[in-house]
With several copies, the nearest count.
Chain A
Amino acid sequence: MPVALELLLYLVAAVLFVLGLKRLGSPLTARQGNRMSGVGMLLAIVVTLFDHGILGYQEIIVGMFIGSAVGFWMARSVKMTSMPQMVALLNGFGGGASLLVGGAEFLKAELAGVTPTIDIGITTQLSLLIGSVTLSGSLIAWAKLQEVMTGKPITFPLQKVINGGLFAAIVGLAAYQLIVPQQVLWPFYTVIALALVLGVLLVIPIGGADMPVVISLLNSYSGIAASMTGFVIHNNVLIIAGALVGSSGIILSQIMCKAMNRSLANVLFGAFGGDAGAIGKSSEGLTVRQVTVEDAAVQLGYAQLVIVVPGYGLAVAQAQHAVRELADLIERRGGEVKYAIHPVAGRMPGHMNVLLAEANVPYEKLCEMDQINDDFQRADVALVIGANDVVNPAARTDEGSPIYGMPILNADHAKSIIVMKRGMSAGFAGIENELFYNPKTAMLFGDAKKSLTSLVTEIKAL
């Protein structure tokens, strides 16, 4: 194959990566995008195989086959809930591959007795370093998520100092490697070993809840490692694809942090990743799950039936107009919205009627408890806005509770529940609400009006 054609085909692959990555950003095109980028990858592999006449090497074909089979099997058998650790593991493999390629190139030059140019030297060292950190870091992330090791942050004294020292040592050794005469190989191996240790140390102080950010970051690293390998073996598709992943990964990590209302630095060095759930620890040690506005927006934007459960908090937030707007929007997208009005929601008889009438919610949409309680199980989302006691399952089960015996709205029967309130404080009856700790429940903390307004903006952007 003429070199120009090869390069051109690589360019096509790179373009497919670009388009694929772009499409991955929207729910409607994501799947197609992933497939485009897959085609690009296939093209790059085929071109490489042809070009280097590699087809002859049986062992390579076998290796490819083994890798594919294992990868495919892992991907198919993993449970949906274990996706993040799966990605971590695969990412580690990618980092490992970069490490191996960089190492091979280094050893090849060493053995051939060639002194590589300074740029090749530097990029080789970078691909070793980054590849190793990615590999070991990803494995730790996997272990934390898989609960092979504790998900809690592991800290010890002087941790940052030690990490810094380690990093300095690696840089020093790598530099030394570049200037020492041939045949001195110990810095090479030491760099790899230290980098592997560094990867471990960087990830262990981060809590399990923050792992997705770390994985995304490590993914960015593995992109950069691939890019560095591209410099080493003078291959543009590696440079381009690696750089794409490198930068988009960092941006994605930042977006993820923003969604958690944290900074990237806080996630990486805060060493309190494990505390994130503290706000929602019940007395029995249960934790609540928080949801971001974007996430809630997707849930609501694609729901077929949404049942709104308004409570006193809706009135306090004066969010009646905002909820009406949200409902209109969902309906314009083809969903259905109903309001479940509990007889004692609010602080006076008919409180919710007064509010919703003000926002011109048609009376037909206001459903009495008896009328709607059976519909909850059909609902994709029960959207509980500033209500608490009226959806508290304790009324059904907990004989000691002051609200025992009060009929409640079956919000917990919905396929998923989003609860909007400002914090974890109790309602009028002053008791804790189990519903918030239900695995199906996601809490959207904040003033109800603000949350609703942001939701509207987000759904419009879907």
Chain B
Amino acid sequence: MEALVLSITLFVLATFLGVELIHRIPTTLHTPLMSGANAISGITIVGALVVAGGGFGWISWAFGVSAVVFAMMNVVGGYTVTDRMLEMFTKKPEAK
């Protein structure tokens, strides 16, 4: 039970941190930011790997490996697509 509260504590702190991290974002960055955050939500890959590697027979097989495929698509696709979108911002260095 204490472990649960600890987990909740982490959850709460991370939630606050997420809120604070996002400030006045120019609209042009909305989609990349969304996409970048989506890539992070691919962290489920860790869960997928745990399940797939847990050795629970068909569950690992059917659920685990397909979860791994899905999650990997999310992760790799997510980061790549975000990077592509962000390319355009590195073109012109800001003159100040």
Contact = CB atoms under 8 A, between A and B. Distances in A.
A48 B30 contact: no
A226 B47 contact: yes
A255 B81 contact: no
A332 B92 CA distance: 15
Interface residues of A, number: 123
B71 A67 contact: yes
B42 to A, nearest CB: 5
Given A71-B78, A90-B81, A298 B10 contact: no
A208 interface: no
Given A30-B89, A233-B50, A458-B26, A24 B32 contact: yes
Nearest to A102: B47
Interface in B8-48: 8-48
Interface string B46-86: 11111111101001110111111111111111111111111
Interface stretch (A92-100, A276-284, A360-368): A92-100
A230 B48 CA distance: 11
A456 interface: no
Contacts, number: 411
A242 B95 CA distance: 37
A18 interface: yes
Which of A31, A38, A101 counts the most chain B CB atoms within 10 A? A101
A100 B37 contact: no
Contacts of B20: 22
B80 A94 contact: no
B38 A91 contact: yes
Contacts of A302: 92, 94
A41 B39 contact: yes
Given A20-B36, A104-B63, A245 B41 contact: yes
Nearest to B71: A97
A53 B29 contact: no
B29 to A, nearest CB: 6
Nearest to A243: B14
Nearest to B46: A48
A37 B40 contact: yes
A237 B7 CA distance: 10
Contacts of A223: 37, 40-41
A193 interface: no
B59 A107 contact: yes
Contacts of A41: 39-40, 42-43, 45, 75, 79
B94 A28 contact: yes
Contact of A255 (B25, B49, B84, B95): B25
A357 interface: no
A160 interface: no
Contacts of A53: 53
A140 interface: no
Contacts of B83: 31, 34-35
Contact of A76 (B18, B44, B67, B84): B84
A376 interface: no
Contact of B14 (A103, A240, A332): A240
A67 B73 contact: yes
Given A219-B41, A334-B95, A458-B26, A60 B50 contact: no
Interface of B: 1-54, 56, 59-61, 63-87, 89-90, 92, 94-96
Nearest 8 A/B pairs, CB to CB: A67-B72, A334-B95, A71-B77, A247-B18, A54-B53, A75-B80, A243-B14, A71-B76
Given A37-B36, A107-B59, A298-B26, 18 more contacts: A30-B36, A67-B71, A87-B35, A97-B70, A103-B63, A104-B59, A111-B56, A212-B30, A215-B34, A241-B40, A241-B41, A245-B18, A248-B22, A252-B25, A302-B92, A333-B94, A335-B95, A458-B26
9 contacts: A14-B9, A18-B17, A44-B46, A71-B78, A90-B42, A91-B74, A252-B22, A332-B96, A334-B94
